[in-house]
Amino acid sequence: MNASARHHLVGLPPDIPFTSETLTQSSAKKASMFECVPEKLQLKIDTFAELEAIAPTDCIFATNSSSYKSSEMLEKVSDATKTRILNTHYFMPPKIMATELMTDGHTSPEIFAFLEERFQEAGLRPYVARKESTGFIFNRLWAAVKRELLTILAEDVADVPTLDAIYSDVILSGHYPPFKLMDLTGLDTIALIEEHYIKERKLPSTHLDYLRKNYIAQGKLGCKSPRGGFYPPTTTTTTTTPHPPRQILALDLGFSSPTRPLNNGALLTITPGPPAATARPLLTGLALPDGLAVCPCTNRVFFTAMGTLGARDGALYTGTLPGLADVQAVVAAGSGALHTPKQVCLDAAARRVYVCDREGMAVVRCGGKTKVYEDEARAFSGIALL
């Protein structure tokens, strides 16, 4: 994600990068420093010792190592400094914005709360490991998936395209996270399946023992149980009151106005019936609104306005649900960056916004700053990501 994209998507001014030829100069007045030296343990130990000597006494030190725990790097630092050291593990931003934070065994709890807030401000999605763990959280999970995939391949049960296809079909396109899916299946059923695998493959039973002791023995069998399972039980009611319907967002061009047909557009929230559907305006006075998308990660709405006919005054706006009280222009109507913006599309994982500009004859990425594709022979009106 470039600085402009970050500015528009998280609502903060772009950072000003700088370089320094000396570690002493670069460490002055820093709140946190992230070590990214090569994966050599002694080098990392020495790096933290050097940082301790020159950085402020309240500076947070983080290692980006994906293979070493930060507790292995404490040999040359003081006990006080150990409380300011932790692991921060990134994946592949901007495509994958998840980040893992893990203690060195001494890290102050306040540091995790502080970094979680800062990372969220930067558009990252932090996850905290509750204790030290080789592989953090996800890599342990991924290791088990890789191991079983390779085992299936080695046993010639399925080939690589089949494994990738069924994984994508069931896991990536599924509607249930793994623990909710186990609750839906029934934890007693899960236990029987695991018991069969353990006997057939002579596997350890630690995970099954944990499941039986902490859930099944306590009557927590999943969705079918009044005590729930991994998740609390779903609240039920004996009345016939239906669940509140989902809200629908819609754009109205506003052509019904007899006096201002080109500047009477609105963003509406619609509540479906029964008994009868109702519509309530969230924003009014829009100049020919056209494209609309909602980011599921941030609950932000992005929508376009085509502007005046024949003029290069299209705009892209964003605001946070439910009330859009913070609505602002990502691309202002007077900037000249967009001509007639139509549909808008979000890449939630990469935190990018794409707009097709019909009279501008271009597909534009994030704030009109980057033209992904331009062709004077085409008038783009629709867009989707695959």
Question: Which residue is associated with the tokens 């010792």?
Answer: 49
Least confident of 83-92, 101-110, 150-159, 312-321: 312-321
Cα gap 314→124, rounded to integer Å: 30
- What's the pLDDT at 129? 95
DSSP code string of 85-126: EEEEEE-STTT--EEEEEE-SS--HHHHHHHHHHHHHTT-EE
What pLDDT is stored for residue 368 in this prediction?
44
Say what the pLDDT of residue 27 is.
Answer: 58
- CATH of region 32-135: 3.40.50.720
What CATH number is given for 176-237 in this structure? Answer: 1.10.1040.10
CB of 78 within 8 A of CB of 65? no
Fold assignment, 248-370+380-385:
Neuraminidase (2.120.10)
Confidence of residue 214 (pLDDT cuts 50, 70, 90): very high
Please indicate whether the domains covering 32-135 and 176-237 agree at the CATH topology level. no
- State pLDDT tens for residues 149-196: 999 999 999 998 899 888 888 887 666 788 888 898 899 999 998 998
- The Cα–Cα gap between 89 and 68 comes to 11
DSSP bridge pairs for 320: 300
Q: In sequence order, what DSSP letters do the residues of 316-381 get, joined into one string?
A: EEEEETTT-TT-EEEE-TTSSS-SSEEEEEEETTTTEEEEEETTTTEEEETTTTEEEEE-TT----
Give the residue among 91, 97, 126, 72 at the shortest CA–CA distance from 6: 97
Domain ranges across the chain: 32-135, 176-237, 248-370+380-385
Looking at residues 8-20, what average pLDDT do you find? Answer: 51
The alpha carbon of residue 231 and the mean position of all alpha carbons in its chain are separated, in whole angstroms, by 22
Q: CB–CB of 363/383 below 8 Å? A: yes
